[in-house]
Amino acid sequence: MINHVIDLTTRPARLFVRNRQLVIEGAKGEITMCPLAEIAVLVTAHPQITVTQAVLAGLSEAGGVCVVCDAKSRPVATMLPLVNHHLQTERLHAQASASLPTKKRLWQQIVRNKIASQAQVLRELHDHDFGLSQLAARVKSGDRSNVEAMVSRRYWRHLFGRAFRRNPDADDQNRFLNYGYAILRAVVSRAITAVGLHPSLGLHHHNRYNPFCLADDLMEPFRPRIDRRVVQIVRTCPPKSELTPEIKLQLLAFLEERYSFEGQSRTIFDVLTRIASSLADVFLRRQKVLALPDWGDEKTKN
């Protein structure tokens, strides 16, 4: 299955549907078409973009996600399919009924996997993980000792320097991280809804104002893939550079990477669907361990 990410943030356009294809008509009448079934994420930001109801309905029916951005290309809304699995009601009930020990155990697995991913990125950049791999073993159920935060401080220091702070409102490389994370969140949410789960019911994240708590949980091991891209960008561009179309393309390149998962090389879309399906099986008590990527020493390949 082809999974396109279409970013319409720099030019006006009229979007409509013809023969189950998204039609993008530019200001000068130029036409671009793409089957709705091949679209994973549609990103819109330009103030002169118009979208018909058929586009929104067709994209949702095909399992795609629409991300709406403000004038500064900051994502402000996400539209997800409402029903995408024939056993959704059963799975939502199992998800909502998951015990606290189960959620803590799952969060332990996710944090350990995230640290392994961070360690791999540092090895790729510095040939050393600065002790992160050893810290992963200290993560207990629910990460009650907050090893994740300890690792995070060490990780960001070696990634961008001691002066860097992860602040979503900062006018520096944080903007690049924000964009990459937003696309990742949308793709993860798409995988979650595809298997009949709901992105709001999280394992660890539980902010009452966050409708994507579970997506924020499951995306954790993949955040370092965005971080690595941003490191590569700021090596050639000042951290306060504008979020240009060229920089967006570099950030979106993480979607083209291959990931080691269950002994095979897979796309991120395939991996996320399998992780979400594995989580559903845990909620349904068919298995106890969440399937996650194998970071190890093998580098992720483009």
Q: DSSP assignment of 280-300, as one string?
A: HHHHTTS-SS------SSSPP
Q: Do domains 4-79 and 88-283 have the same CATH topology?
A: no
Q: Where are the domains of the chain?
A: 4-79, 88-283
The residues near 227 (Cβ < 8 Å, ≥ 6 apart) are: 118, 121, 159, 177
Does domain 88-283 correspond to CATH entry 3.60.15.10?
no
Tokens of 301: 């390949």
The span from the CA of 233 to the CA of 93, in Å, is 43
CATH architecture of 4-79: Ribosomal Protein L15; Chain: K; domain 2 (3.100)
Structure confidence at residue 75 (pLDDT):
77
Structure confidence at residue 302 (pLDDT):
40
Report CA-CA distances (Å) from 256 to 54, 63, 277, 292, 296.
29, 19, 21, 18, 20
Q: What is the mean pLDDT of each run of 10 residues along the chain (302 residues)?
A: 82 94 94 94 90 94 88 79 74 94 96 96 94 93 93 95 91 93 93 91 87 94 96 90 88 91 92 96 95 71 42
The span from the CA of 14 to the CA of 21, in Å, is 14
Query: What angle separates helix 268-283 from helix 174-194, to the nearest 10 degrees?
Result: 50
From the number of C-beta atoms within 10 Å of its C-beta (0-12, 13-18, 19+), residue 296 rates as exposed
Structure confidence at residue 209 (pLDDT):
72
pTM: 0.87
- Please report which helix (H) or strand (E) contains residue 77, including its range: strand 75-79
Place of tokens 């015990």: 99
Length of the chain: 302
> Is there a contact between 34 and 18 (Cβ–Cβ < 8 Å)?
no
The span from the CA of 156 to the CA of 171, in Å, is 17
The span from the CA of 65 to the CA of 79, in Å, is 6
| Coil, helix or strand at residue 60 | helix
> Is there a contact between 224 and 257 (Cβ–Cβ < 8 Å)?
no
Alpha helices, H only, the chain:
53-61, 88-96, 100-126, 132-136, 147-160, 174-194, 213-218, 223-234, 245-252, 268-283
Tokens of 170: 């900062």
